[in-house]
């Protein structure tokens, strides 16, 4: 209990006076404090009076204590703050704040200055969001007695994505701190001192050279216009702001998309986002407008006439598709689900394949589908991981296996950093770079070919030392004896030899897993380069199950809704909810729900489909992905339907192309890598005549007179999903019904057998969205990726 301005308030241990005041609705002006950052005490605006304390302590760095008597507002403090603000404004162009005609200014000078330089009038990119302005207005400062000094620093615009005008910088240090503390990158720092102090890089390097990841966190925390996103700096305030989920990768960041003139103009991370907590990455923060407003977006359906694709109406195109698809037998048709489809669209696509075409030939065009999902289902009952992002944050030991997480899932590094600040040990197995090295404690330089030996070695150590959760294994796991037998004859040294580590080093790793109370394993796409990815997953699950409930596993899927598309049953061998197509109960349940007959035979997987197409066994392909790299196989296919939002190489062979919508234009849900079902909300209207994927499927089903596709909104589809899919009951993280018995996998047989599922044909999606390379649409991203990916 402490007293602020005579009012008694509660506080939680460790909070600062500023936080307590804000929690209780008492405003104290401040510019450098930020709730994601440690207290800094730079701006001196939050000075308060505290009884029995000398001078005027800053509220942001003073911890609240029992019985404190704080005064946040009186004449003396007000004058003091005014003086401080005057000093700040003496080096910040301030006529926009001080001019008595400032209201008229906007009316008469409407064109943005071409130089991009702010010298003091209203041409500031932050004018509508300027925190300095809020504080000035609060303090009622009307004039400045100190002569103003313009620093005359050059605009820094050499780097992609954002402009830097350090003439506007007030040196609050938020950008430096967010980069170091939250993102763990440290791409900028205070350089020099005194009057010469400037935020900058070592030796004045460009940000590209200096290791900046262009996540935009610094732009988001900047209280002035010093940092501004180049693409949206002159748009002013948006007409509306819609919170939706980013579909460009699988993390599931919530973003506030700003719309004006029926265009998406900017994206900012949502502080309430359960996965991202106000953080974003280069793709989500800067690339969305350029991507969805692209001039090449498809606007109307196209059908092939006399060898050329020509525009057509929806009716004509849908009727053509219905007529043609009706000609083929179930075995001759294949469906390719894009990992960017919404849950609703993926669900309807598989329903259409199964009910309408009577085939199970449907698969996700993803490197993670097929054997990887099979392995998950076999061990866990569902094709998903067991961990959540919260698990990462509360873990005390994290393994990152085979993922360049800084490039593929940048926002997850925020959670990893958080865990690390709380004392977690982070171990990286696989690809490295200089920046990630600062974020990990333990680097294990093992190539993908060494993952199997390394993990089997660790497993053997765990079993030999009997360092596993015995109760859990005895009561909940099958196959422990055979696992033990298979490890018994294994020679540790011989096993781990191919990974190039010493026995001691592997021992050290294993003992860290032993010690950990709450571990977390993240595995990424590099495991697909190992000799047998399925086996890697079996081994990971073995380790996971042996440690009982102490470990969480998260597959680092790449594309936005890979998880959801699988959950919805867009798989050749699984119905919605990962129930096998041969599962009689599930089939009869679904047959009743859909009032239709389901095909009994399992379908063929994506790569088999492509192979079959090459042999001419597949007559028709329904492709929603657009990311099929090798189209030579497909020239044999009789009839190809394509959903797309941009022109793609598949146009050469497609017979009908339907214009679909980007994720900013549709309602629905997508599921993130932590199994979190989140809403997509339409920010703007679809481009031209484009329709959401689920509507297109409904249209064709209607033309083919297939019952059960009379949906009018995405919510209706979601309601049906909730009824039919045992995993999904609404938004939020779904959890698998725990299996009665988990399966441990013996090591021997699968061990060194090279699998034939290695995915040279599979595109890795970190650069792709709905079949196009994002870097082709966003030039700045190309610059950046060329630098970080080395070409």
Partner 1 sequence: MQKTIEKIIKSHEGEKGSLIPILQDVQRECGYISEEAVAAIAKDVKISEHEIYGVATFYAQFRFTKPGDHLIKVCVGTACHVRGNSLNLMHIKKILGIDEGEITFDYRFGLETVNCLGACALAPLVTVDDEYYGNFSPIKLKKILSKYAKEKAGAEDEED
Gap between the Cα atoms of 160 and 324, Å rounded: 47
Give the closest residue to 768 by CA, choosing from 779, 780, 760, 777.
777
Q: Which of 152, 161, 133 is nearest to 29 (CA)?
A: 133
Helix (H, G, I), strand (E, B) or coil at 196: helix
The two structure tokens encoding residue 518: 């709450």
Q: Is 189 in the site for partner 1 (CB under 8 A)?
A: yes
Cβ-based nearer residue to partner 1, 11 or 784: 784
The residue from 16, 72, 122, 180 that contacts partner 1 (CB under 8 A) is 180
Strands (E), 37-123: 49-50, 69-71
| CA–CA distance, 576 with 583 (Å, rounded to integer) | 12
Stretch that binds partner 1, among 106-114, 193-201, 412-420, 739-747 (CB under 8 A): 193-201
Cα separation, 523 vs 429, whole angstroms? 9
Candidate residues 203, 308, 504, 740; the one interacting with partner 1 per rule CB under 8 A: 203
Q: Of 210 and 569, which CB lies nearer to partner 1 in the complex structure?
A: 210
Residues 24 and 12 sit within 8 Å (Cβ to Cβ) = no
Choosing from 66, 100, 434, 504, the residue that interacts with partner 1 (CB under 8 A) is 434
305 binds partner 1 (CB under 8 A): no
Q: Are strands 519-523 and 397-401 parallel, antiparallel or unpaired?
A: parallel
Contacts with partner 1 by CB under 8 A: the residue count is: 20
Minimum separation from the CB atom of position 199 to partner 1 (A): 9
Can you tell me whether residue 676 is helix, strand or coil? strand
Shortest Å distance, C-beta 191 to partner 1: 5
- Give the nearest distance from C-beta 212 to partner 1 in angstroms: 9
Rounded-to-integer distance, Cα 350 and Cα 579, Å: 14
Instruction: Decide whether 66 or 434 has the Cβ nearer to partner 1.
Output: 434
Q: How far is the CB of 534 from partner 1 (least distance, A)?
A: 36
Instruction: Identify which of 339, 418, 426 has the alpha carbon closest to the alpha carbon of residue 673.
Output: 339
What's phi and psi for 621, nearest 5 deg?
-125, 135
Written in H, E and C, the secondary structure of 322-375 is HHHHCCCCHHHEEEEECCCCCHHHHHHHHHHHHHHCCCCCEEECCCCCCHHHHH
Residue 108 or 203 having the CB closest to partner 1: 203
End-to-end CA distance of the chain: 59
Q: Minimal distance in Å, beta carbon 139 to partner 1?
A: 31
Using the minimum distance from each CB to partner 1, give the nearer residue, 186 or 236: 186
Task: Lay out the sheet containing 2-4: strands in order across.
Answer: 7-9, 2-4, 69-71, 49-50
- Give the distance between the most distant pair of CA atoms in the chain: 89
Among 142, 190, 502, 592, binds partner 1 (CB under 8 A): 190
Rounded least distance, CB 380 to partner 1, Å: 36
Residue list 679-738, contact with partner 1 (CB under 8 A): none
Please tell me whether residue 173 binds partner 1 under the rule CB under 8 A: no
Instruction: Tell me which of 57, 116, 186, 708 binds partner 1, using CB under 8 A.
Output: 186
DSSP 677-724: EEEE---SPPSTT---HHHHHHHHHHHTT-SS----SHHHHHHHHHHH
Q: Which is nearer to partner 1, 202 or 600 (CB)?
A: 202
Neighbours of 511 (CB within 10 A): 15
- Residue selected from 95, 119, 191, 243 as contacting partner 1 according to rule CB under 8 A: 191
**Least separation in angstroms between CB 173 and partner 1:** 11
Q: If binding is defined by CB under 8 A, does position 57 make contact with partner 1? A: no
Question: Per-residue x/- mask for partner 1, residues 740 to 779, rule CB under 8 A?
Answer: ----------------------------------------
Contact 365/627 with Cβ under 8 angstroms?
yes
Window contacting partner 1 (CB under 8 A); options: 34-42, 110-118, 184-192, 248-256: 184-192
The yes or no reply on residue 185 touching partner 1 (CB under 8 A) is yes
CB of 190 to partner 1, least distance (A): 5
Q: Which of 33, 50, 168, 187 binds partner 1 (CB under 8 A)?
A: 187
CB of 32 to partner 1, least distance (A): 17
195 binds partner 1 (CB under 8 A): no
CB closer to partner 1 out of 191 and 394: 191
**Residue in this structure with the two tokens 């207290």, named with its chain if needed:** 39
Stretch that binds partner 1, among 186-194, 241-249, 278-286, 710-718 (CB under 8 A): 186-194
Query: Is residue 240 classed as helix, strand or coil in its secondary structure?
Result: strand
Shortest Å, Cβ 193 to partner 1:
5
Span near partner 1 by CB under 8 A; candidates 185-193, 503-511, 615-623, 749-757: 185-193
Is beta strand 656-659 parallel, antiparallel or unpaired with respect to 639-644? Answer: parallel
Alpha helices in 91-161 (DSSP H): 95-98, 102-108, 131-139
Give whichever of 153 and 757 is closer to partner 1, judged by the CB atom: 153
* 201 in contact with partner 1 (CB under 8 A): yes
**Binding status of residue 90 toward partner 1 by CB under 8 A:** no
CB of 189 to partner 1, least distance (A): 3
Q: Using CB under 8 A, which of 75, 193, 195, 584 touches partner 1?
A: 193
- Rank residues 316 and 441 by Cβ distance to partner 1 and give the closer one: 441
List the beta bridge partners of residue 303: 310, 656
Binding of partner 1 at residue 551 (CB under 8 A)?
Answer: no
Name which of 439 and 463 has its Cβ closer to partner 1: 439
Stretch that binds partner 1, among 200-208, 251-259, 294-302, 541-549 (CB under 8 A): 200-208
188 touches partner 1 (CB under 8 A): yes
DSSP state of 278: T
Residues 208-227 interacting with partner 1 (rule: CB under 8 A): 210-211
The residue (of 227 and 654) whose beta carbon lies closer to partner 1 is 227
Taking the C-alpha atoms of residue 213 and residue 282, their distance in angstroms, rounded to an integer, is 7
For 492-501, b where at least 16 C-beta lie within 10 A, e where not — what string?
Answer: beebbebbeb
Strand ranges inside 595-704, DSSP E: 620-623, 639-644, 656-659, 668-671, 676-680
Assess 437 for contact with partner 1 (CB under 8 A).
yes
Beta bridge mates, 3: 8, 69
**CA atoms of 431 and 440, how far apart (whole Å):** 12
Q: How far is the CB of 516 from partner 1 (least distance, A)?
A: 22
Q: Is 150 in the site for partner 1 (CB under 8 A)?
A: no
438 binds partner 1 (CB under 8 A): yes
Choose which of 87, 202, 310, 707 interacts with partner 1 (CB under 8 A): 202
Question: CA-to-CA distance for 327 and 309, rounded, in angstroms?
Answer: 22
Least distance between partner 1 and beta carbon 144 (Å): 29
Residues that bind partner 1 (CB under 8 A): 180, 185-193, 200-203, 210-211, 434-435, 437-438
């Amino acid at each position: 209990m402490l007293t602020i301005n005579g009012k008694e308030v509660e506080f939680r241990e460790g909070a600062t006076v500023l936080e307590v005041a804000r929690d209780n609705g008492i405003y104290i002006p401040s510019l450098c404090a930020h709730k994601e950052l440690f207290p800094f005490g730079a701006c001196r605006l939050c000075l308060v009076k505290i009884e029995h304390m000398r001078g005027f302590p800053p509220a942001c760095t003073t911890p609240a204590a029992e019985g404190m008597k704080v005064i946040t507002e009186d004449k003396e403090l007000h004058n003091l703050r005014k003086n401080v603000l005057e000093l700040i404004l003496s080096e910040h162009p301030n006529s926009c704040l001080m001019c008595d005609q400032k209201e008229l200014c906007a009316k008469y000078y409407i064109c943005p200055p071409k130089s991009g330089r702010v010298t003091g009038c209203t041409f500031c990119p932050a004018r509508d969001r300027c925190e300095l302005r809020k504080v000035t207005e609060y303090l009622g400062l009307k004039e400045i007695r100190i002569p103003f000094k313009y620093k005359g620093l050059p605009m820094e615009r050499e780097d992609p994505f954002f402009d830097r005008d350090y003439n506007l910088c007030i040196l609050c240090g938020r950008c430096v701190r967010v980069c170091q503390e939250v993102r763990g990158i440290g791409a900028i720092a205070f350089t020099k001192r005194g009057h010469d102090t400037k935020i900058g890089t070592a030796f004045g390097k460009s940000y590209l050279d200096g290791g900046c990841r262009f996540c935009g966190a610094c732009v988001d925390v900047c209280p002035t216009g010093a940092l501004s996103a180049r693409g949206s700096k002159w748009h002013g305030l948006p007409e509306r702001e819609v919170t939706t989920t980013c579909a460009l990768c699988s993390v599931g960041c919530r973003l506030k998309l700003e719309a004006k003139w029926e265009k998406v103009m900017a994206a900012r991370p949502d502080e309430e986002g359960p996965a991202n907590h106000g953080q974003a990455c280069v793709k989500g923060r800067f690339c969305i407008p350029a991507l969805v407003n692209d001039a090449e977006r498809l606007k109307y359906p196209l059908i092939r006439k006399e060898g050329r694709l020509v525009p057509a109406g929806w009716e004509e195109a849908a009727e053509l598709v219905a007529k043609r698809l009706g000609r083929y037998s179930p075995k001759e048709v294949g469906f390719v689900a894009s990992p960017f489809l919404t849950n609703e669209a993926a669900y309807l696509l598989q329903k259409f394949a199964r009910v309408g075409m009577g085939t199970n030939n449907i698969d996700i065009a993803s490197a993670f589908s097929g054997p990887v999902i099979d392995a998950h289902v076999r061990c866990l009952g569902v094709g998903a991981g067991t961990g959540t992002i919260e698990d990462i944050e509360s873990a005390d030991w994290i393994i990152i296996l085979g993922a360049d997480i800084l490039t593929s899932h940048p926002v997850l590094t925020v959670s990893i950093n958080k865990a690390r600040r709380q004392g977690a040990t982070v171990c990286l197995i696989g690809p490295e770079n200089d920046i990630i090295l600062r974020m990990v404690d333990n680097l294990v330089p093992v190539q993908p070919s060494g993952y199997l030996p390394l993990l089997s070695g660790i497993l053997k150590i765990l079993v030999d030392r009997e360092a596993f959760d015995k109760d859990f294994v005895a009561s909940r796991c099958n196959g422990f004896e055979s696992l033990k037998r298979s490890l018994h004859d294994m020679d540790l040294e011989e096993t781990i030899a191919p990974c190039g580590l010493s026995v001691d080093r592997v021992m050290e790793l294993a003992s860290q897993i032993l010690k950990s109370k709450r571990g977390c394993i993240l595995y990424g796409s590099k495991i697909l380069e190992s000799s047998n990815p399925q086996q890697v997953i079996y081994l990971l699950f073995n380790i996971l199950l042996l440690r009982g409930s102490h470990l969480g596993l998260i597959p680092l899927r790449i594309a936005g809704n890979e998880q959801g598309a699988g959950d919805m049953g867009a798989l050749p061998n699984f119905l919605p909810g990962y129930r096998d197509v041969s599962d009689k109960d599930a089939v009869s349940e679904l047959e009743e729900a859909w009032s239709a007959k389901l095909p009994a035979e399992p379908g063929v997987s994506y790569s088999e489909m492509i192979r079959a197409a090459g042999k001419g066994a597949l007559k028709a392909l329904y492709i929603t992905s657009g990311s099929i790299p090798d189209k030579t196989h497909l020239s044999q296919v009789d009839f190809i339907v394509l959903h797309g939002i941009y022109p793609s190489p598949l146009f050469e062979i497609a017979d009908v192309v339907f214009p679909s919508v980007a994720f900013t234009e549709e309602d629905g849900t997508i599921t993130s890598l932590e199994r979190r079902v989140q809403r997509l909300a339409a920010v703007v209207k679809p481009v031209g005549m484009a329709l959401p994927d689920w509507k297109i499927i409904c249209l064709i089903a209607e033309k083919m007179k297939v019952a059960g596709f009379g949906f009018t909104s995405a919510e209706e589809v979601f309601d049906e999903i909730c009824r039919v899919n045992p995993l999904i009951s609404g938004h939020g993280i779904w959890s698998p019904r725990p299996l009665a018995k988990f399966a441990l996998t013996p090591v021997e047989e699968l061990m060194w057998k090279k699998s034939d599922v290695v995915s040279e044909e599979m595109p890795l999606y970190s650069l792709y969205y709905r079949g196009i390379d994002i870097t082709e649409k966003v030039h700045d991203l190309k610059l950046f990726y060329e630098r970080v990916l080395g070409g």
